[in-house]
Amino acid sequence: MEFKHQRVIVTGATKGLGKAIALSFAGKGAWVAANYSSDDQNAAATESELSSLTQKHLLLKADVTSKNDVDKMIKSVVEQWEHVDILVNNAGIIRDKLLMFLDEDDWDRVIDVNLKGTYLCSRTILKTMIARKFGRIINITSPSAFTGRAGQTNYSASKGGIISFTKSLSKEISRLGITVNAVSPGFISTPMTESLNQDIKCDLLSRISMRRLGQPEDVAEAVLFLASAKAGYITGQVLGVDGGLI
CATH number at residue 111: 3.40.50.720
Distance CA 175, CA 155 (A): 31
Q: Rounded to whole angstroms, what are the CA distances from 211 to 3, 53, 70, 205?
A: 33, 33, 39, 5
Burial 226-235 (b: 16+ CB within 10 A, else e): bbbeebeeeb
pLDDT value of residue 23: 97
Please provide the size of the chain in residues.
246
Q: Is 197 inside a domain boundary?
A: no
- Active-site annotation holder among 36, 119, 155, 233: 155
Count CA within 13 A, CB hemisphere, residue 198.
Answer: 0
Q: Rounded to whole angstroms, what are the CA distances from 174 to 50, 119, 138, 169, 170?
A: 31, 17, 13, 8, 5
Residue 21, Cβ neighbours under 10 Å: how many? 31
Range name among 118-127, 155-164, 194-203 with the lowest pLDDT average: 194-203
How many domains does the chain fold into? 1
Three-state secondary structure call for residue 200: helix
CB 241 within 8 A of CB 142: no
Q: Is the pLDDT of residue 57 over 90?
A: yes
Query: Running DSSP on this structure, what letter comes out for residue 198?
Result: H
Range name among 51-65, 94-108, 180-194, 220-234 with the lowest pLDDT average: 180-194
pTM: 0.95
- Exposure of 206 by Cβ count < 10 A (0-12 exposed, 13-18 middle, 19+ buried)? exposed
Q: Is 61 inside a domain boundary?
A: yes
Q: Quick one: pLDDT band at residue 199, thresholds 50, 70, 90?
A: confident
pLDDT value of residue 192: 63
Question: Does residue 155 have an active-site annotation?
Answer: yes
Count CA within 13 A, CB hemisphere, residue 54.
Answer: 26
Q: What are phi and psi of 220, to 5 degrees?
A: -60, -40
* pLDDT above 90: percentage of residues in the chain: 88
Q: Is 80 inside a domain boundary?
A: yes
Query: CA torsion angle for 228, 84, 80, 12 (degrees, to 10)?
Result: -80
* pLDDT above 70: percentage of residues in the chain: 98
CB 68 within 8 A of CB 43: no
Q: Is 141 inside a domain boundary?
A: yes
Is the model more confident about 10 or about 207? 10
Tens digit of pLDDT for each residue in 139-163? Answer: 999 999 999 989 999 999 999 999 9
| 173-199 mean pLDDT | 87
Q: Is the pLDDT of residue 178 over 80?
A: yes
Q: Is 24 inside a domain boundary?
A: yes
Structural domain span for residue 27: 7-188+216-240
| 58-71 mean pLDDT | 97
CB 34 within 8 A of CB 10: yes
Q: Is 18 inside a domain boundary?
A: yes
CB 34 within 8 A of CB 61: no
Q: Is the pLDDT of residue 31 over 90?
A: yes
| 165-171 mean pLDDT | 98
Distance CA 154, CA 144 (A): 10
Q: Is 202 inside a domain boundary?
A: no
> What is the distance in angstroms between the CA of the first residue and the CA of the last residue of the chain?
28
Q: Is the pLDDT of residue 195 over 70?
A: no
Q: Is 107 inside a domain boundary?
A: yes
Q: What mean pLDDT, rounded, does the chain reach?
A: 94
